[in-house]
Amino acid sequence: MTDSTIRESAMSENVIAGDAISVRGVGKTYAASAGPVQALLPTDLEVRPGEFVVLLGPSGCGKTTLLRMLAGLISPTEGTIEIGGKPLFTGRDAKPARDALGSLGFVFQAPNLMPWRKVWRNIALPLEAKGIGRAERKRRAEELAGLVGLEDFLDHYPKQLSGGMQQRVAIARALIHRPSILLMDEPFGALDAMTRDSMNLLLQRLWQETGKTIVLVTHSISEAVFLADRVVLLSQRPGRVQDIVEVDFARPRDLSVAADARFGEMTGQLRKQLGGHA
């Protein structure tokens, strides 16, 4: 099998039409000793199937809170979230529904790789949790490693990889169970500028090839404009949606889009709206 056929078969198996996300009146209030703290005011957001939405804002604006609620890691104090038309939180104890969670992949700020597992076993971890056999796990891990350009590093340990490569492993792991939606929490925040650029290009390619819905959190204005179909601008204390900006640069975008006058205009406008926060 040649490299390109591996990639093609990997692609065809991983192309899953993205699901829609519907956020209605979702808010989060934390109880604190000094009285309740509103992390996020009731928020409405409709993410279309296959759309790339970026949540942009300064720290403390509730963007990570919103994303973690979408992932079922924390429950909202009000409002409803639907994933592909199905409610995410059901029942009285507000436990996240298993099937809705199954269509989500999550990439954390840190790679969160397990240092005692080789790369391929890190990538395959979500399949282990589903009880899928070893041969199948290994095959799928190889596919996904190919998709993120790590096919030569399957038997390495995480500490042998650079930061960017570790985050690629994390992306492969988030995609291995073929989720329709990918949630990303400042995935490239810890990387240097050059690695970050190449990761942005990789992510755009993955998104175009697989057709998933992506919701990505960042505090980088240029990253937001480069990647997004729509930028959701959040402001802080209490967190709320301040504005939603459509970004209509042609796809695929390359790094030279940053030299475009309209790119500068858009980032300048967003920076002004953030009031110098970001």
Partner 1 sequence: MVSATQAPARPESPSAPRAPRKESGPRWLLWVTTPLIFAAIIGLWKLYTVVSGVSELIMPPPEQVWTALIELLGDEMIYEATYITFYETIVGFGIAVVVGVALGIALGKMRSLERVLSPFLVATQVVPKVAIVPLLLLWFGFGLSSKIFMAAIISFFVMMQNTILGIRSIEAGHRDLMRVIQAPWWKRVISLDIPSSLPAVLTGIELGIVFAITGAIVGEYLGGDEGLGALATVMLAALRTDQLFAVVIIMTVLGFLLYAVVAGIRRFAIPWHESSGRATSL
What residue ranges bind partner 1 (CB under 8 A)? Answer: 71-73, 98, 101-102, 104, 106, 108, 110, 112, 114-116, 125-126, 128-129, 148-150, 152-153, 156-157, 159-162, 164-165, 168, 177, 195, 198, 201-202, 204-205, 252-256
Amino acid (one-letter) located at 252: P
Q: Quote the least distance from Cβ 248 to partner 1, whole Å.
A: 17
Q: Quote the least distance from Cβ 139 to partner 1, whole Å.
A: 19
Rg over alpha carbons for the chain, rounded to the nearest Å, is: 19
What are residue 181's DSSP bridge partners?
104, 213
In the bound state with partner 1, the residue whose beta carbon lies nearer, of 148 and 221, is: 148
Please list the alpha-helical segments (H only) found in 108-242.
119-123, 125-129, 134-147, 163-175, 193-210, 221-227
Cis peptide before 49 (omega within 30 of 0): no
Q: Quote the least distance from Cβ 133 to partner 1, whole Å.
A: 15
Q: Quote the least distance from Cβ 153 to partner 1, whole Å.
A: 7
3-state secondary structure (DSSP) of residue 159: helix
3-state secondary structure (DSSP) of residue 245: strand
Q: Quote the least distance from Cβ 164 to partner 1, whole Å.
A: 5
d(CA 213, CA 225): 17
In the bound state with partner 1, the residue whose beta carbon lies nearer, of 50 and 126, is: 126
In the bound state with partner 1, the residue whose beta carbon lies nearer, of 54 and 233, is: 54
